[in-house]
Amino acid sequence: MELNNRQETILQIVKDNGPITGDKIAERLSLTRATLRPDLAILTMAGYLDARPRVGYFYTGKTGSQLLTERIKKLTVKDFQSMPVVVNESASVYDAIVNMFLEDVGTLFVVDGQSSLTGILSRKDLLRASMGKQDLESVPVSIIMTRMPNITSCSPDDLLIDVATKLISKQIDSVPVVKEVKKDGIQKLEVVGRITKTNITKAFVSIANDEIQ
pLDDT tens figures, 138-185: 889 999 999 988 899 999 999 999 999 999 999 898 999 999 988 777
Which CATH number among 3.40.50.300, 1.10.10.10, 3.40.50.720, 3.40.30.10 corresponds to the domain 5-62?
A: 1.10.10.10
Q: Which of 19-28, 59-68, 200-209 has the lowest mean pLDDT?
A: 59-68
- Beta-ladder partners of 159: 76
pLDDT for the residue 67: 65
CA distance 174 to 137: 26
Phi and psi torsions of 134, nearest 5°: -80, 155
pLDDT for the residue 213: 47
The CB density around residue 192, as the number of other CB atoms within 10 Å, is 18
CA distance 81 to 154: 11
Q: For residues 13 and 25, is the Cβ–Cβ distance under 8 A?
A: yes
Residue spans of the domains in the chain: they are 5-62, 77-206
Q: Which helix (H) or strand (E) holds 167?
A: helix 160-170
pLDDT tens sequence across 135-144: 888 889 999 9
pLDDT for the residue 74: 83
Q: Are strands 86-88 and 107-111 parallel, antiparallel or unpaired?
A: parallel
CA distance 97 to 126: 7
As a CATH number, domain 77-206 is 3.10.580.10
